[in-house]
Amino acid sequence: MLKAKIAVLVSGGGTNLQALIDAQKSGIIKSGEISLVISNKENAYALERAKQNGIDALFIKKDADFENNLISAIEDNNIDLIVLAGFLVILSAEFVRRYDKKIINIHPSLIPSFCGDGYYGLRVHEAALEKGVKLTGATTHFVNEITDGGEIIMQKAVEIKEGDTPEILQKRVMEEAEWVILPLSVEKVSEQITKER
């Protein structure tokens, strides 16, 4: 079976990328292969993680040619699936239409709560704590032209506890939800792509 070729787009630390790399090693991801990691931040630690694991790592500067350069990298590497793993750039409608049902995003809340423009990273957890919800979680979804608005693939709930800070909550959501459902979602969609061939 020819595996789906995966590009992971990142902007920061890359713990979700690490979860994907680990899942590939352990066999949770078996229908896809991480072929390329791309960051819009030159010093993103995620790029280091890629290199340490023998995966091609690319920095693409966020200038006027950003999306064209992104498309070139994706096409040159025959990428089948794009995974946004802590990628904090909003992609244009034109870009996402080009890769319909081929882009997955992970968001650190139970969509449709605490999502959309301006909700990223710690801000999502700050908003959940401000609202006083008792459950939050993470969501994987396909990317369309509406920020965090595409079809949901998987969700996992996480309990909010007395005394949580945004940082503590972020860590629990990552450990209990993000690092679990992102690899499972990537395998699910990769398997689908290989079957469609």
Judged by the rule CB under 6 A, the positions of this chain that interact with ligand GAR are 10, 12-16, 46, 85-86, 106-108, 120-121, 124, 174, 178
In the complex, the smallest distance separating the C-beta of residue 195 from ligand GAR, rounded to whole angstroms, is: 28
In the complex, the smallest distance separating the C-beta of residue 79 from ligand GAR, rounded to whole angstroms, is: 19
Select which of 107, 125, 141, 188 is catalytic. 107
118: Cα separation from own chain's centroid: 17
In the complex, the smallest distance separating the C-beta of residue 2 from ligand GAR, rounded to whole angstroms, is: 28
Contact 182, 16 (CB under 8 A): yes
Q: Would residue 125 show up in a list of annotated catalytic residues for this protein?
A: no
- Closest of 136, 117, 111 to residue 126, by C-alpha: 136
Residues 84 and 39: their CA atoms lie apart, in Å, by 10
Find the residue with minimal CB distance to ligand GAR.
Answer: 86
Q: Which amino acid is at 64?
A: A
Give the residue with the Cβ less far from ligand GAR, 1 or 118.
118
- Closest of 101, 98, 52, 108 to residue 71, by C-alpha: 98
Q: Which residue numbers are catalytic?
A: 107
